[in-house]
Chains A and B, each alone.
Chain A
Amino acid sequence: MSAPIRPLLTARYGLAESWKLANAEPAGAYKVAREALSTRTPAELKEEVKKANVRGRGGAGFPAGVKWGFLNPQEGEQIYLVINADESEPGTFKDRSIMDLDPHRLVEGAIISCYAIGAPVAYIYVRGELAFSINRLEQALTEARQAGYLGERPFGADLGHPIDVYVHSGAGAYICGEETALLNSLEGRRGEPRLKPPFPAVKGVFGMPTIVNNVETIASVPDIVEMGGDAWSSLSRLPGDGGVRLYGVSGHVKNPGLFEAPVGITMRELIDDYAGGMLDDRPLKAVIPGGSSTPVLDPRRKVDAPAEDHPLHKWHGMSEIDVPMGVDTYRALGTMLGTCCAIVMDDTVNMVEACRNLMRFYKHESCGQCTPCREGTGWLVDVLNNLVHGRGKPEDVDLLVNIANNMMGNTICAFADGTAMPLLGMVQKFREEFVEAAVNGVSDGVRHDDSVRSMVEGAA
């Protein structure tokens, strides 16, 4: 196991009542913002974030510094910062911890970011279910406002514009995590994604240039500014993918939960060293690496990269779960790092059942705007229901692949791709189980939740 790092994002999580200004501030909250607003220029701060190589923590992994660079406001345009706290990707539960346990880190990051990009207003869009987190954030914002850290002259500095941060509650819609759907929702509309271009940096919320960043990305900004972009970037084990990040683990491990570690630890380390290993020491069957839209990893499969110029050549012949977890390494592996929150499944899990569970999610959450997605998600669930209930036919397996392939790239947003990719990954890597289900169905005895049902009921 790697040497433990000095906690950064989670440094204040363990403090008593860490969410209160009176406790967070003596432990360092707002120190960086106070200094930055009086001694650094916005251009310098943007440069630090660029050098930090912080890849967007919401799942797409786009470099935040580059995104900020797309801003080019025209005369009379106001810039907005929108912080995406619509954490809804199945398996993902990291941003909630920042809002619950250290909301002032997020507010401080928002203040610095607003100053850096020249935005007088930031909205934090939080999914409606997280009413408790919304309350925590509102209290933190009230404290920051009363202390003079927000408003006309934050920290007494004359910036030429005020900085205000508001919380905006969603109301239950996964699709609002997609940035243009989020902007529509923020404007009081149905959360239906917009066509891009124009990208939000050109025409975002209220038709104005807008930067949309994930909670964890913004919460990293104080550390980036304090350490300097280069130093923060070099905490990572991978080039071009900087810093530390929050890793989540759920499913069949001994200690499910949240951990902070450098970018580039391996999935094997995450499961064995951080999450305590497999529940009941059963074999690992499969792991979804970064939220349900990321194609599954199969520990039996070896990295096939014999060519020396292949980005994964260093790990040629090793298991998929021994490749460092990074945006680029995982893309080369045919999956995605996504939100870096893994769903771990042991050998009791039937992959057809797991697939059906996730496809049911996508069917429920498709916004319905585009036909391939609206119809495709429902069709996938119908076929998977047939397979599970023994009503399937062998050709159904290819039908699943066919439907998924016809969804990919044929819709306004990436939701359909995010549905098709994990399905294709599961069918490709565990095809024999889908074929078996097509012939014999899935018996109740191997339903994936039965493996722990007895444990759950036994604990009563």
Chain B
Amino acid sequence: MAFSLSPEREHRVDEILTRYPERRAALLPVLWLCQRQHGWISPEVVDYVAERLDLSTAIVKGVVTFYTMFFDEPVGENVVWVCRTLSCDLRGGKAIQDHLEKKLGCTAGHTSSDGKFTLLKAECLAACGQAPMVQINDYYYENLDVGLLDRIIDAHAEKGGEAAATEFSTFASFGSPAEGARAPKGSAPPPPSQEAVRLASQPPPSAGAPNKGGDES
């Protein structure tokens, strides 16, 4: 079935096109709009984007496969990126990954059997001072220990990603943390924008796993 964007998102595309002197420059922003609506970049999405921006499907596919965050296969309702680069690993990043694998019942690069979580390994997510951390959908969760991680994952499973983000997600912090406590979490983020990741409407993934963020070594 042919893919089409919602009317609001079509309107967004028109607005985005005014920002650049060349149509092709809208490719990444438009792919993002599509992925936020559809959950992944399906072949139908590629066809749609190619036509909308006057590009060949080969060019669109070439771009999609270059960038880690564009999924060319379906993913779970929530995508969990666990940072395993040095700063996080020095503060227990591997323990976080091990715990997630146990809790979700799947190894990195795969989706839990209930389709709720896809677990992916990430390279440095620029939150090194608040390590260890994970990204879930659009939000960061920092200064983790396994107890906090359990509560975050449970909140995603029970209340959904946006409610969990309001309760637990963090943004940049600054300076020394309070006595006796690691850097406290920032205040709750503002209400999610319309463009917040919507993966929830997606069907459970097929047997194949995304080919990105798997356990390589």
Chain A residues close to B by CB (< 8 Å): 10, 13-14, 87-93, 95-97, 99-101, 127-133, 135-136, 138-139, 164, 166, 168-174, 185-191, 206, 248-252, 255-259, 276, 288, 292, 341, 343, 345, 349, 354, 356-358, 360-361, 363-365, 367, 381, 385, 447-449, 451-453, 455-457, 459-460
Q: Mark B111-144, 1 if CB is under 8 A from A, else 0.
A: 0000000000011111111111001001110001
A-B pairs with lowest CB-CB distance, top 4? A188-B27, A172-B68, A171-B67, A172-B69
Q: Is the CB of B128 within 8 A of A343?
A: yes
B180 to chain A, nearest CB (A): 11
Report Cα–Cα, A452/B40, bound state, in Å. Answer: 36
B182 to chain A, nearest CB (A): 8
Q: Mark B31-74, 1 if CB is under 8 A from A, else 0.
A: 11000000000000000000001000000001100111110000
Q: Is the CB of B90 within 8 A of A448?
A: yes
Q: Is the CB of A131 within 8 A of B197?
A: yes
Give the contacting residue for B145; candidates A248, A276, A459; CB below 8 A.
A459
Q: Is the CB of A90 within 8 A of B128?
A: yes
Contacts of B145 in A (CB 8 A): 456-457, 459-460
Q: Is the CB of A456 within 8 A of B124?
A: no
B32 to chain A, nearest CB (A): 6
Q: Check B183 for interface membership: any CB of A closer than 8 A.
A: yes
B110 to chain A, nearest CB (A): 18
Q: Could you list 12 examples of A-B contacts with CB < 8 Å?
A: A92-B128, A133-B171, A172-B69, A188-B27, A189-B24, A248-B129, A250-B90, A258-B174, A343-B87, A357-B86, A452-B92, A456-B91
Q: Is the CB of B138 within 8 A of A456?
A: no
Contact flag A88-B124 (CB < 8 Å), given A128-B69, A456-B95? yes
Q: Is the CB of B86 within 8 A of A292?
A: yes
Residue of A nearest to B138 (CB): A131
Q: Is the CB of B87 within 8 A of A132?
A: no
- Size of B's binding interface in residues, CB under 8 A: 71
A206 to chain B, nearest CB (A): 5
Q: Is the CB of B28 within 8 A of A456?
A: no
Q: Is the CB of A171 within 8 A of B172?
A: no
Q: Is the CB of A364 within 8 A of B31?
A: no
Contact flag A132-B129 (CB < 8 Å), given A251-B91, A257-B176? no
Report Cα–Cα, A250/B124, bound state, in Å. Answer: 12
Q: Is the CB of B127 within 8 A of A358?
A: no
Give the contacting residue for B131; candidates A128, A188, A256, A258; CB below 8 A.
A256
Residue of A nearest to B93 (CB): A449
Chain B residues close to A by CB (< 8 Å): 19-22, 24-29, 31-32, 53, 62-63, 66-70, 81, 84-87, 89-96, 99, 122-132, 135, 138-140, 144-147, 150, 169, 171-177, 183, 186, 189-190, 193, 196-197, 216-217
Contacts of B29 in A (CB 8 A): 168-169
Contacts of B84 in A (CB 8 A): 357
Report Cα–Cα, A91/B85, bound state, in Å. Answer: 9
Report Cα–Cα, A90/B124, bound state, in Å. Answer: 5
Residue of B nearest to A80 (CB): B21
Contact flag A173-B132 (CB < 8 Å), given A93-B126, A127-B126, A457-B95? no
B17 to chain A, nearest CB (A): 11
Report Cα–Cα, A371/B143, bound state, in Å. Answer: 39
B59 to chain A, nearest CB (A): 8
B91 to chain A, nearest CB (A): 5
Q: Is the CB of B28 within 8 A of A168?
A: yes
Give the contacting residue for B85; candidates A13, A189, A357; CB below 8 A.
A357
Give the contacting residue for B68; candidates A93, A173, A385; CB below 8 A.
A173
Contacts of B70 in A (CB 8 A): 171-172
B61 to chain A, nearest CB (A): 11
